[in-house]
Structure 1
Amino acid sequence: MASKEFILQGFTARTHGDAIRELFEVADIQRVVLSVAFISDSGVHQIEPRLKPYAKVLTAYGGIRNDISSHQGLVRLFGLGGTLYAVDTGARSVVFHPKLYLVRGAKVARLVIGSANLTLGGLNNNIEAGLLIEFDLSDVDDKKVVAAIEKELDVLPAEYPDHILKVTKSSQLDEWLAAGRLVDEMALPPPRPSSRGSGTGAGDSVPRIKLKVQPLRRPLRKAKAAGKKQPGAKLAKAPAPIAPGVDLELVWESTPLTRRDLNIPDGANTNKTGSINLDKGLLPEDVDHRHYFRDDVFTALAWSARTAAVDEAYAKFQLVLKGISYGEFDLAIRHTTSTTSRTYLQHNAMFRLSWGATAAYVAHDDLIGRTLALYRDNADPTKFVLEID
């Protein structure tokens, strides 16, 4: 008879990632089957070491055309060498949504089924619910259930040949990315604000929920330089975007924000800096943050010398706090150019963003410990989004 364990990820320390990794502890593994709605690179990365040794017996189904499954995620999963099917319903209003992870051994099978997708959120960061079930294959009823799961999925490619698409070469994934059926993880916009906030957000004091799981962060990649300009040069008019804000690229993400970052003084004698350092944050190890922002992220702006050692520019930033947009602001950014100062030689931050008119919006205790994400609008690289979540 099957044994069952309920998993309530987030509200307990038990994660779906841990449970899925435990599936592979069964002896003599003969079949591995995955079915999920959404696939991301960081999600596959979480269980890749367990999947790789069993690629020859792996069959995976993942939804596409859903604005979440990514090119990077499917490339990583396809690269393991198993059998991969992309499920395209042909409609945005119909989503392939079954989420299960099955590992069958010679005598025992284990199944995780519930709400967890093959994403970093699904396996670790989100609040998710699921069941870990262990089947005794010597039990007739247990064996029937496992066989039914495999059979129901195995017949899908033949029954829906226009929608259950076998991936046979990586160029298919490239074509689906170009066609918009997969997304580029590094060009994702922040969650679209469901509403527009009024005032400075002081009335929204709901803190970030404290879960019993340590959140993980997805890796970043270096942004490409956008139209480098000489200091003081006039900025050419950017092409009109077809859909403003659609093509946003994540170019930087902070570590947990501090009181100093958010311009919140510790006491009456503490001076407000009025700005935040854009430092290493979560950038890849090989990216030199001392030059990155001036040379790659903000190159399309019209820069001028504020002092002999500081260049200054202004840009438009949309401010999104906890999923609510508070509008667009003109903010100053400054880059210290010295390469011989102690600050530079110690690899400290050389770039600052002035909070300006947004200072009253961000100086709230409930934002401490959250992260700041910086997005660039690739349709107009003079526009950016600041999201704290």
Structure 2
Amino acid sequence: MADKEFILQGFTTRTHADAVRELFDIDSIERVILSVAFVSESGVQQLEAKIAPHIANTTVFAGIRNDITSHQGLAALLALANDLFVVDTGSRQVLFHPKLYFVRGSERARLVIGSANLTLGGLNNNIEAGMLLDFDLLDAADQATVAAIEAELDKLAADYAANVLKVGAVSDIDILLATGRIVDEMAVPPPRPGSSSSSTGGNADAIPRIKLKVNPLRRAIKKADAAKPKSAKAPKQDATVVAAAPAPMPVPKAAGVQYEIVWESKPLTLRDLNIPDGANTNKTGSINLDKGLLPADVDHRHYFREEIFNQLDWSGANAKTTEEAYAKFHLVIKGISYGEFDLRIGHTIGTESKAYKQNNAMTRLSWGPVKTHVGNPDLKDRTLSLYRDLADPTRFVLEID
């Protein structure tokens, strides 16, 4: 009979990432099968070192048409799987949702099954439940169960040929992206607040962030390119003009406004939130836009002024040392929208100052009208994410969570 272990990630220190890695600690691995609803690049990165030696024996089923599975995630899996299938149910009302991780050796097989997807949240950060089962293939009952698991999964591609699609090249993944069935992790919809708040500030949402027993992991943020001028609308055609034959139109990557994430902070401090943390500490009214979680090769001293806010109208607050600009920022805190605000960005000019040579932040965001919303001690140690509108580079989203 199979040995069993219950995993309650988050409320215990046991993570699904650790449990899945342990699946590979058996002799003579002959088969690896992964089946998940959602895939992200950072999720695949948690397991790639364990899967890589067994590429020839690895099969993956991944759900698509769900607004989560990404081009980057599938591309990473393609390099690790001999057989990669995407499951497209043809409807947003029906999801491919089984989550299991299976490894079979010559004498033992192991299975993790439960709620954990192949994402950073599923494998580490979320509260997830699952079971780890260890099968003895010398036991007839265990052997029958393992055979049934493989048989059911192996017939999916033949039984549902129109919906279980083999991915053989990156070009196949490109088509899935162009037809809107997967997402680009660098071009994301804005945060979708569950509700909006009419509060004018203060501690309107006093629910603290739940304290879990697993340290959260953060995905790496990739450098954004300099913004291009705001997209211009095409002029209307005269109704009397005969229209040319329509060209095939690709389905957009995702419905609605598209944003790209351009920066994430390290855990927020009280100073970031404009909260004095000592008798000799003054409120600054702003947050430094520093290195945060940017890649090591990105120079934050230039990044914000030259790449992120380069399409704003800058003026010289003090022409010799500083300049300033204003932009629209939609504020979302803990999944609740507080509306859109005009916020000031300040930038220190020059490369000879002591602060510049010490790699300090040269760009600052003034909290201004949102300081009462962000001045909440409960937001300490959370993350501030900055998103930029892909169509209008003068509009942004600030999300604290």
Verify same fold: TM over 0.5.
yes
Residue 96 of structure 1 aligns with which residue? 96
Mapped partners of 1:201, 1:161: distance in 2: 55
Contact kept? 1:249, 1:376, Cα under 8 Å: yes
Mapped partners of 1:150, 1:302: distance in 2: 60
Aligned AA for 1:101?
Answer: Y
Mapped partners of 2:204, 2:273: distance in 1: 17
SS at match of 1:129: strand
Mapped partners of 1:316, 1:239: distance in 2: 20
Q: 1:207 to 1:26 in 2, by over 3 A?
A: same
SS at match of 2:186: helix
Aligned AA for 2:365?
Answer: L
Mapped partners of 2:161, 2:21: distance in 1: 31
Residue 222 of structure 2 aligns with which residue? 221
Aligned AA for 2:205?
Answer: D
- The C-alpha deviation readout for 1:118-138, integer Å capped at 9, x for no partner, is 000000000000000000111
Contact kept? 1:189, 1:250, Cα under 8 Å: no
Mapped partners of 2:256, 2:88: distance in 1: 26
Post-superposition shift, 1:270?
A: 2.7
Mapped partners of 1:237, 1:145: distance in 2: 57
Contact kept? 1:115, 1:130, Cα under 8 Å: yes
Give yes or no for the alignment of 1:360 onto 2:372.
yes
Give yes or no for the alignment of 1:142 onto 2:142.
yes
SS at match of 1:272: coil
Mapped partners of 1:215, 1:119: distance in 2: 13
Q: 1:239 to 1:10 in 2, by over 3 A?
A: farther
Q: 1:98 to 1:375 in 2, by over 3 A?
A: same
Residue 276 of structure 1 aligns with which residue? 287
Post-superposition shift, 1:267?
A: 4.0
Contact kept? 1:239, 1:380, Cα under 8 Å: no
Q: 1:170 to 1:292 in 2, by over 3 A?
A: same
Residue 40 of structure 1 aligns with which residue? 40
Post-superposition shift, 1:11?
A: 0.4
- The C-alpha deviation readout for 1:262-295, integer Å capped at 9, x for no partner, is 0011245431100000000000011110000011
Post-superposition shift, 1:239?
A: 4.6
After TM superposition, the structure 1 = structure 2 runs for residues 300-315 of structure 1, keeping only pairs within 5 Å, are 300-307=311-318, 308-315=320-327
Mapped partners of 1:253, 1:69: distance in 2: 21
- The C-alpha deviation readout for 1:176-212, integer Å capped at 9, x for no partner, is 1111111011112354001001212522111111111
SS at match of 1:18: helix
Deviates more, 1:113-122 or 1:74-83: 74-83
After TM superposition, the structure 1 = structure 2 runs for residues 1-389 of structure 1, keeping only pairs within 5 Å, are 1-199=1-199, 200=201, 202-227=203-228, 239=233, 246-267=257-278, 269-307=280-318, 308-389=320-401
Mapped partners of 1:327, 1:268: distance in 2: 33
Deviates more, 1:22-31 or 1:197-206: 197-206
Aligned AA for 2:91?
Answer: A
Structure 1 ranges of 4+ moved more than 4 A: 236-240, 242-245
Contact kept? 1:19, 1:112, Cα under 8 Å: yes
Mapped partners of 2:294, 2:232: distance in 1: 27
SS at match of 2:28: coil
Contact kept? 1:319, 1:327, Cα under 8 Å: yes
Q: Percent identity?
A: 65
Mapped partners of 1:246, 1:89: distance in 2: 25
Contact kept? 2:288, 2:361, Cα under 8 Å: yes
- The C-alpha deviation readout for 1:287-330, integer Å capped at 9, x for no partner, is 11000001110111111111111111000000000000000000
Q: CA RMSD in A?
A: 1.5
- The C-alpha deviation readout for 1:101-158, integer Å capped at 9, x for no partner, is 0000011000000000000000000000000000011111111111111111110111
- The C-alpha deviation readout for 1:17-43, integer Å capped at 9, x for no partner, is 000000000111000000000000000
Q: How many residues align?
A: 381
Aligned AA for 2:137?
Answer: L
Contact kept? 1:244, 1:379, Cα under 8 Å: no
Mapped partners of 1:238, 1:5: distance in 2: 58
Mapped partners of 1:244, 1:276: distance in 2: 32
Contact kept? 1:26, 1:108, Cα under 8 Å: yes
Mapped partners of 1:24, 1:39: distance in 2: 20
Q: 1:297 to 1:245 in 2, by over 3 A?
A: farther
Post-superposition shift, 1:244?
A: 9.1
Post-superposition shift, 1:227?
A: 2.7
Q: 1:244 to 1:342 in 2, by over 3 A?
A: farther
Structure 1 unpaired stretches of 5+: 229-235
Mapped partners of 1:137, 1:311: distance in 2: 70
Mapped partners of 1:333, 1:14: distance in 2: 43
Structure 2 unpaired stretches of 5+: 235-251
SS at match of 1:186: coil
